Amino acid sequence: MTLTPARKRTPRATTAAPPPASDHTGHTWVRRGIATTSVLVLLASLAGSTAATTERQPQVFIPAAAQIRFPRPTVTHLHYRHWKLDPGQPRHGLVMSDVQLWWAADGTALIQRCDVVEDPKSTRISNPRNIQGPCPDTSHLTWGHYRPRMPHPLPTNVATLRTWLTVFADSSSDHALIAAAVDMLREHHLNPRQRAALLAILADMPAIKYRGTTTDRAGRAGEAFSLDSVLSDGSTITDLLIIDPGDGTLLGYDKVLLTPAPGSELDPMTVVETTIFLESDMTSVIPGTAAMTCDQHACIAEHP
């Protein structure tokens, strides 16, 4: 992974003005960079790229679930692809989790996780639109059974959101706040004011560095920022954020091991975690699913 020399420039947050009618803020939260840099590495560099080995009972029957429609768009819908190093698992190639989540404030939810085999010679993920469901890991949660780890609704005040992230991370370090923010975005859709508050927190980090314009693992244009940190085990890592300069949404996140801890078998410049945020919106429907019979690899829909 090659990075251009860091330029002394930090992300500039939008002001927390009242949100417009559209969810698109319509202005740039960081000045566009002139330099272009390659910040992505081959997917093969993901450490210990593992096949999913979650224990699942073969031939599990999952009953059908009806669509749930709400009168207003109060359902959070998120779609992302995620991979994280598990040192205890053997290496079997590169398998990511493609996750879609729909949840309502009353605790009703649908969670779908599909295993996706990626090309380790590529810096890009495969087309998320080509995911063929149903997925073996599908959960319908009825009223009161789904609760996000960070309460809903999220605050729009910068200081309050920073406090929430600090409590969630159990740390006030900038690295911990970034990790907590990424976790938050796997469960919450941010409105313009909440997004502005998060950008202000990032902009206030003195060690964050601007890395130039790039494309993320889904091929979308963005601007890259990184933060280097020394962990308690002696390793040095960088949090790499790719952000849409138009509306300030986080497109992708890589956690890169720059210098391994003493005695580690991992190589320097190894990606140990990656998340690609593909969709984030509010809707009024939690989709239904057909009855299906699943083994550990795939599901077959049961037709009457």
Q: What is the pLDDT of residues 62-105, one digit of tens each?
A: 777 889 999 999 999 999 999 988 766 545 457 889 999 999 99
Q: Are 180 and 169 in contact (CB under 8 A)?
A: yes
Does residue 280 register a pLDDT over 50?
A: yes
The residues facing 137 across adjacent strands are 113
Sign of torsion, CA 287 288 290 295?
positive
Distance between CA atoms of 249 and 195, rounded to whole angstroms? 7
pLDDT value at residue 285? 97
Average pLDDT, the chain: 81
pLDDT value at residue 89? 58
Looking at per-residue pLDDT, the higher value among 272 and 239 belongs to 239
Looking at per-residue pLDDT, the higher value among 94 and 227 belongs to 227
* AA identity, residue 189: H
Among 158, 181, 186, CA closest to 168:
181
Question: Is residue 111 very low, low, confident or very high in pLDDT (cuts 50, 70, 90)?
Answer: very high
Does residue 8 register a pLDDT over 90?
A: no
Give the residue-averaged pLDDT of 239-266: 94
Beta-sheet pairing, 109-117 with 137-141? antiparallel
pLDDT value at residue 61? 75
Does residue 197 register a pLDDT over 50?
A: yes
Question: Is residue 29 very low, low, confident or very high in pLDDT (cuts 50, 70, 90)?
Answer: very low
Can you read off the two tokens belonging to residue 15?
A: 């002001």
Distance between CA atoms of 242 and 258, rounded to whole angstroms? 18
Q: How far is CA 206 from CA 29, 151, 245, 250, 297, in A?
A: 17, 28, 20, 19, 46
Domains of the chain, residue spans: 43-301
Q: Are 278 and 100 in contact (CB under 8 A)?
A: no
Looking at per-residue pLDDT, the higher value among 57 and 81 belongs to 81
Can you read off the two tokens belonging to residue 65?
A: 């679930």
pLDDT value at residue 52? 44
